[in-house]
Each structure stands twice: as structure tokens, then as C-alpha cells.
Amino acid sequence: MLLPRLYLQLGVFLDYYTGVHQPSVSKVLHEILDKGDAESNDFKQAIPEIHRTVIPQIMVDENWPPTMLLHGTADTAVPVEESHHLRSLLDAAGVPVDFIEFNGKEHSFDYETDAEEVWKEQFDVVKAFLYKALG
């Protein structure tokens, strides 16, 4: 679990996840971000088609399935703003999306020993969402 977090912090996770190191997918995306006026299509075009599905934000359209986002507000592995951004993309595409923030919680908060008891109400919301989405 710690190695992927290190790759995230170093900004090279996609290179290891996709196996594409030359050219570095991460470096290409950083260069686009550094320009400051990037559009989602710029990112989509920079990533080999076979790997585009690993970055959900560039694949959002009206065919996206109903989505439930859960995120700790103190997450240091993936900033909560990423879920806010994905939610806005899903909303704009007309995709049903629910979002629950877990105040003060870090990444993998649901692994905590007492998570099922502490977050029972929120997990019940997730269960109801899944029943509805999956029929």
C-alpha cells in the first residue's frame, strides 16, 4: 500500500500504473498543466488510447454509470478536490452522482478497526445507492 502512495506523491504514479515510462505519461501531463490553460481534450490526446480509462476525469460523458464518491477531507494521498472536480464533471454530463465527505479522515479511513460502527449511517447510504444503481 505504501509504494503507490509514494508514486502519487512523486507525481509518477501513472508511469508505473500504465507501464509507460518512455515517454513518461506523468511528465507529459505535467507539461500540459504547466502551460496553465489546458483543456480536458489536451490531456486525453496526450495519453495513449489504451491507457485513457485509467484517468476517469478525461472519459466522463453521458454514458458514465451512476457514481458514489467517498472521500476523507484530510486525505494526503488524493486531495479531496479531486472528488469535487470529478463530481462537477459528472454533474455537467448529467450523470447521477452522490458524494459523501468524511470530515478529518485520511485516505483508507474505511480500513480502521471500528469503521463499520463509526460510519454505519454513511455506509448504509452507500448500500442504498448500490441497490438503486444496480437494480
- Residue-wise pLDDT for 93-128, tens only, equals 999 999 999 999 999 999 999 999 999 999 999 999
What residues contact 38, with CB distance under 8 A and at least 6 apart? 32
- Is 55's pLDDT higher than 70? yes
Using CA atoms, how far residue 80 sits from 69, 100, 111, in Å, is 10, 11, 18
Beta bridge partners of 98: 68
For the segment 17-37, the average pLDDT, to the nearest whole number, is: 85
Give the whole-angstrom CA distance, residue 7 versus residue 5: 5
pLDDT of residue 50: 85
pLDDT of residue 86: 93
Q: ∠76-78-80 over CA atoms, to 5°?
A: 90
In this prediction the pTM is: 0.74
Give the whole-angstrom CA distance, residue 134 versus residue 101: 22
How would DSSP label each residue in 50-64?
A: GGGGGSGGGT-STTS
Q: What are 16's three cell numbers?
A: 508505473
Share of the chain above pLDDT 70, in %: 99
Confidence tier at 40 by pLDDT (50, 70, 90): low
